[in-house]
Amino acid sequence: MKQSTLFAAMGLAVAGFSAPSAAETAAPAADAIVIPAPPKGKGEVVFFRSGTFIGGGISCAVSEGGKKVSSLPPGEYFIAVADPRKHSYAVSSEVTNSLNLEVEADEVQYADCHVKMGILAGRPVLAPATVEAFTAQSHKGLKMVSASRMGEGALRPDGTTSSATAPAATPAAPK
Amino acid sequence: MRIWIAGAALVLPVLGAQAAQVGVQPGAGATPGAQGLSPAAAVSPPVASVAPAPPAAPVVPALTPVSLEIGADLGSKTSKSGDTFPIRLHEAIVIDGKELVPAGATGMGEVVEARHTGMSGSSGILILAARYLDISGHHLRLRSMHLAENGTSRIGTANGLGIAGAVIPGVGFLALLTSGDDVSVRSGSVAAAKTAEDFTLITSSGALPAASAAIASKETTQ
């Protein structure tokens, strides 16, 4: 009797672990996110972060030249609008990780942030990514970072940026 | 009266020859030159005597696709951000059926980012950019060479080992020692890029058209 109770409990435990994944596969995929074209003469870099629970508590705030561009919580993305030239974006934890990118006028590039294991804590890492990788993540329900967590040069949901040098981009859906 | 008309007829060919020397467009430059003439000469249409304009200098338009050959072995392990490397035009630039820039023109590229593989499964990264092709001593600026390569990442594996390390002592160190793959680009690899701006080629007379002159002066100031 005790043995059967034990097996039943184990079965429930296994079902409990597997249930969420079954629900996830059954859930319909989210629509792909459409990135608006950059403002004329500017380029865009789309930073995104998968929604994995590993390293979820580690900050992936992206900065350039010591100025915050935007926070980047798990499962979210933001669009940095920038002048066409070489840019150096950075994320920091126990060490700083930076990524140089060549921003081209009228083009969109992608970069992802993932957290790898560190000695004391997880370390955020920036790496170039592809539109396919972004689209795959967008089907899993990526959301745009809220405007309150954005800094200079990030495209707000209303199609504006806070930077005086970066004019407002054409929003995907005009008001 | 007859003598006066004959003099005017002699002046016109001389004016025509002067206009031809400076390459004036037909109908555009003859009027100012006629201001000092007698009324009879000014009335006569000088168009017929002006030499045809020289053919327009060939222009390579901005955003023209170009095929480039990398001229050095590059790698996320061996290269450094900011390194430059030679490039070579792999296929001639042909506009409207005319070969404007022959294959083999040389230029320069830059390593925008080179990151060696790290601990905990992170992969190598190599991002390259084409800067310019050297055309008769002037730089045809290039853009949009997206030869960005990531090595195979093993961050997922390392994170999994890290989690296992919380239960099994010692396994966590394996996570730190796990590394991803480096990236390399061999000399001779071909990549696509685009021209960054309109580039007017130098004419056969050696004169540098305005657009190229502007480009040249910009480069010398940099």
Dihedrals phi, psi of B123, to nearest 5 degrees: -95, 165
In single-letter form, the type of residue at position A50 comes to: S
Is it the case that residue A10 has pLDDT exceeding 80?
A: no
pLDDT in the model for residue A123: 85
Separation between Cα atoms, residue B212 and residue B140, nearest integer Å: 9
Cβ contact A123:A100 at 8 Å: no
Q: Domain check: are B45 and B121 in the same one?
A: no
Kindly identify which residue of chain A lies nearest to residue B148, measuring between CA atoms: A128
- Cα–Cα distance, A78 to A142 (Å, whole number): 10
Q: Report pLDDT for B57.
A: 87
Task: For an interface test with B, give the residue of A100, A103, A106 to mutate (most B CBs within 10 A).
Answer: A100
The verdict on residue B33 lying in a domain is yes
Query: Which 8-state DSSP code applies to residue A150?
Result: B
Return the residue in A45, A52, A60, A117 with the most chain B beta carbons within 10 A, the one to mutate for interface testing.
A117
CB B182 within 8 A of CB B75: yes
Same domain, residue pair B69 and B20: no
Instruction: Examine residue B99 and state whether it is found in any structural domain, yes or no.
Output: yes
Q: Measuring CA to CA, which residue among B197, B189, B194 is closest to residue B216?
A: B197
All domains of chain A, ordered by start, with CATH?
43-149 (2.60.40)
Which residue of chain B is at minimal alpha-carbon distance from A125? B122
Q: Are A154 and A78 in contact (CB under 8 A)?
A: yes
Contact A119, A127 (CB under 8 A): no
**Same domain flag for B146 and B209:** yes
CB–CB contact B81 A100 (8 Å): yes
From B144, B142, B136, B100, select the one nearest B213 (Cα to Cα): B136
For residue A154, name the pLDDT band (cuts at 50, 70, 90).
Answer: very high
Q: How many whole angstroms separate alpha carbon A78 and alpha carbon B76?
A: 27
**pLDDT band at A22; cut points 50, 70, 90:** very low
How many folded domains does chain B comprise?
2
Task: Read off the pLDDT band of A24 (50, 70, 90).
Answer: very low
User: What gap in Å lies between CA B202 and CA B197, rounded to an integer?
Assistant: 16
| List of chain B residues whose C-beta atoms are within 8 Å of the C-beta of residue A125 | 122, 155
Residue B54 domain-assigned (yes or no): no
Residues B42 and B130 in one domain: no
- Residue B102 backbone zone (phi > 0: left; psi -120 to 50: alpha; other: beta): beta
φ, ψ dihedrals at B49, nearest 5°: -95, -10
* One-letter identity of residue A16: G
Q: Is B157 on the interface with A (CB under 8 A)?
A: no
pLDDT at site A92: 82
Cβ atoms of B201 and B135 within 8 Å: the answer is yes
CATH of the domain at B94: 2.40.128
Considering the domain architecture, whether residues B35 and B122 belong to the same structural domain is answered as no
Q: Which domain holds residue B112?
A: 59-221
For chain B, 222 residues long, the average pLDDT of each consecutive 10-residue run is 42 38 35 42 54 83 96 94 96 94 96 83 86 95 78 56 54 54 90 95 55 44 44
What does the pLDDT read at residue B31?
Answer: 38
Query: Looking at residue A161, what is its pLDDT?
Result: 78
Is the pLDDT at A85 greater than 90? The verdict is: yes
Amino acid of residue B90 = H
Please answer yes or no on whether B125 and A128 come within 8 Å at the CB atom.
yes
Q: Quick one: B86 and B168 in the same domain?
A: yes
How far does A175 lie from chain B, in Å, by closest CA? Answer: 32
Return the number of CB contacts < 8 Å for A and B.
Answer: 58
A127, B121: Cβ pair inside 8 Å? no
> Does residue B79 lie within any of the structural domains?
yes
Residues 52 through 81 of chain B touching chain A, CB cutoff 8 Å: 81
One domain for residues B33 and B72: no
Q: What is the pLDDT of residue A159?
A: 81
Indicate the pLDDT class of residue A163, thresholds 50, 70 and 90. low
Answer yes or no: is B216 within a domain: yes
Across A83-96, average pLDDT: 90
Indicate the average pLDDT of chain A.
Answer: 78
Together in a domain, B95 and B158: yes
pLDDT in tens, A98-139: 999 999 999 999 999 988 766 666 789 999 999 999 999 999
Residue B21 confidence (pLDDT): 37
B93 and B198 co-located in one domain? yes
Give me the pLDDT at residue A51, please. Answer: 82
B105 with B183, same domain: the answer is yes
Instruction: Kindly determine whether residue A116 and residue B158, on different chains, have CB atoms separated by under 8 Å.
Output: yes
Tell whether B140 and B73 lie within a shared domain. yes
Whether residue B32 is found in the same domain as residue B130:
no
> What CA–CA distance (Å, rounded) separates B199 from B213?
10
